[in-house]
Amino acid sequence: MSANILVIDDEESIRFTFCKFLAEKGNKVSTSKNLLDSISKMKETIYDVIIVDIILGDGCGLDVLKKVDRNEVETQVIIMTAYPTMETIDMSFKMHAADYIIKPIRQNELISSVNNIIQSKLSLRKNSIEKNEIFV
């Protein structure tokens, strides 16, 4: 079960670490250090999962949720932060974040979240195909 993943965080150590252990699980992982760069990458590539920190040097990670077109792209977004608030939790889920994870993030926690998202996407695709086969 492989996914195309974008990790967005202004901390190099987090980008490096997440990239390493997500790639070890067979995923294709790209990284971005800021909002501007990540938006550029999102225009070039469709990602299955985007993992983004709320606080970025040039903006807010929640802006990534605004850029993901839910009607055309099956991209799911995981929000991460070291400074959770009820406001950001509420906003994240209202904007259809797939998950909200609090730093420090354990490897197995992130892998589990990504795997759950991919499994859900596969199940939705399978159900969609089965429904289309019934009506064809």
Which CATH number belongs to the domain containing residue 122 in this structure? 3.40.50.2300
Percent of the chain exceeding pLDDT 70 equals: 90
Q: Contact 78/98 with Cβ under 8 angstroms?
A: yes
Does the pLDDT of residue 130 top 70, yes or no? no
How many domains in the chain?
Answer: 1
- What are the pLDDT digits (tens) for 72-128? 558 999 999 999 999 999 999 999 999 999 999 999 999 999 999 999 888 877 776
Q: What is the pLDDT of residue 70?
A: 55
Tell me the two tokens of residue 29.
Answer: 């992982």
- 110: domain range? 4-135
Does the pLDDT of residue 28 top 60, yes or no? yes
Coil, strand or helix at 100 = strand
Tell me the two tokens of residue 57.
Answer: 């040097």
pTM score of the predicted model: 0.90
Mean per-residue pLDDT over the chain, rounded:
90
* Cα distance between residue 73 and residue 87, in whole Å: 26
Averaged pLDDT for residues 124-135: 65
Averaged pLDDT for residues 43-71: 89
Q: What is the pLDDT of residue 122?
A: 81
Segments of 89-133 assigned E as strands: 99-102
